[in-house]
Chain A
């Protein structure tokens, strides 16, 4: 009897020790292991083969898939485009988002209505957003060309020029998600204590100076957060490209992510697609981590 109670309480003690609570994160770890870590190792493996994505047969080709990147102008174009999509829309979204936030900061009903409208596109599927803008940029009967024709000008093939298509899609992505940056900055502005701004005014700082030396430094946490989520979002642009150009004309407006889809499913070049994925992984990780550490250093403590 005595022995039974001891083991019983020992089991209970063990069951309720803090270590047992660690079981609670096992489901999450299993998911990460299956759908993130395992694929990462597999991706590394495939990137050193010439696997076509379907047949079980493949052979090892060393660094060939990686060196192909250096000699393939289509892929290089898509890397440059990815940077334009990623950095371009990050910069534009944050400048515009901050501007809008400063303009719309306040409690009036009109301002709140404008905020609702500006933020609205962010809740729509980026694919649909792409189609909506396609109706404007379309060559044959697009809304912008209707204006050009009305003004007596020749209609323009807006998306028919690679570099222009890339910038237009960067703008579409900016238009869609600048509301997010705006909301983040509004929250940041509201977190700045009124006394700081008043003290600055008393000390004679006004207008741009006050913004430059008081508001902006106190806003840095919001800047960090907004920049990092924009970078991660912009670099993986896919849906808008799918909706507006499918990577065309030719391969001129592909991003790395749409390029990878094309390589796997249309050109059955899975080894190369995996290598590109790994390169992109590195690029995004390096850029977002360095942005994060750089901006974190600029944050000030209140």
Chain B
């Protein structure tokens, strides 16, 4: 195609043409570095977010099934059997959840507690233990929000338990939860030996929980509510998405500025080659064809800068991940060095947007060149 043929010659000749050469090199390097910075930033964010999602998936049930309203499940085995039969569900655990007062030495505070089968003792979240200075090994009194009937009338259900551990605060949970053995929780919340306030399900494919959630809802009917792990951590999931968008927009500003350099390159090229544009018109090139020559030149620089930037960015991210060159305090982040994870879709999005922006930037001077009067240009040539 003649546009690319001429554009290629102009760009190759720009090594000899200082005016065009300098601005073309600036535009190329700007795009290269901007795109590379964007790829590395997104890889870093993707690395952190993947880590956070992994921890969320480990700490949060993939699906949480609860009765609608304030009811409870009374026939635990029957519901568990129904849930286990839903395709994609790998495990079903009944839970007993409620609020208790934890007191010790005249001090008390309300705490959300969840009973699970696997728990061996009372484990408080660090944020629950801190206000009244509780430490592992102390024995506390738990006063339930539920009551039992006594000869003197209804009295609160009370239990005494030893704190077996203090867990670090959970990653994304909106409210801290203590955990205890299921049987103890059933007694505290007066649920009976086969009662539960909900079920925690784990899935074969937790990355796509919506399909399994719909199947569970269909199997148990309208009396139950099903929340995916993303819905349980909605605020955090939305924050992660917003963080991704904001970072992309902020770093893409570099690409936008580099694109403006590209517009300057095309404008300088069009100005210095106006005589050529006029000759092309005389030889039968339509205004659009003349514009396409300068558009192709801009697009050539834009594409080369973008592809170079993608290659540089991916190589840098892979190197930083393998070499572990960015150390982190492990006790704070749970990892020894900053994680870089190159997501192919991110790379594709950066590449496509950068090339589109380059085309848009180059199209403005190209349109000006297309509208140039050949007679005026020949007089000046």
- Bound pair: A and B? no
